[in-house]
Amino acid sequence: MNASGLRAKELHERTRIAAIAPTRSTSGAAIYSRKLYSRLPAEIIPGEKPALLVLRNAFGHRVDAYHIQFEYRGFGGFAKSLISLVLLASILSLKRPVVLTFHGIVTPDGLQGRKLKKIVMLAYLASYKLAAHFSSLVVVHSAAMRSALGNHYGITKTVVVPIGTDPARSDVQKSSNPSNLVFYGFVRPGKGVENIILALKQIKRPDTQLVICGGLARGEEAGYLAHLERSVTENSLDGQVKFINRSMTELEKLAYFSEALALVLPYTDRFVEASAVVHDFAGFATPIICSRTPRFAELIDGYDCIKVEPTPAQIAKAITVLQNDKALWTSLANNLLRKTTEESWEEVAKKHLEIYRSVIISQIRNDGS
> What is d(CA 316, CA 201) in angstroms, rounded to the nearest whole number?
9
Residue 361: count of CB within 10 angstroms of its CB: 19
Burial per residue of 165-185, b for 16 or more beta-carbon CB atoms within 10 angstroms, e otherwise: bbebbeebebeeebebbbbbb
How far is the CA of 122 from the CAs of 107, 109, 152, 224, in angstroms?
A: 10, 14, 11, 29
Helix or strand or coil: residue 187?
coil
213-232 pLDDT, tens digit per residue, is 998 878 888 999 999 999 99
CB atoms < 10 A from the CB of 303, how many? 12
Shortest CA distance to 159 belongs to which of 366, 367, 352, 357? 352
Whole-structure pTM over 0.85, yes or no?
yes
The confidence band for 185, taking pLDDT boundaries of 50, 70 and 90, is very high
pLDDT tens figures, 318-369: 999 999 999 999 999 999 999 999 999 999 999 999 999 999 999 888 876 5
Per-residue pLDDT tens for 127-137? 999 999 999 99
Burial class of residue 305 in the structure, from the number of CB atoms within 10 Å of its CB (0-12 exposed, 13-18 middle, 19+ buried): buried
Who contacts 25 (Cβ-Cβ below 8 Å, separation ≥6)? none
- Three-class DSSP category at 319: helix
Which percentage of the chain shows pLDDT scores above 90? Answer: 81
Confidence category of residue 8, pLDDT binned at 50, 70, 90:
very low
pLDDT at position 38, please? 96
Query: What is the set of domains in the chain, with CATH numbers?
Result: 3-163+344-368 (3.40.50.2000), 180-342 (3.40.50.2000)
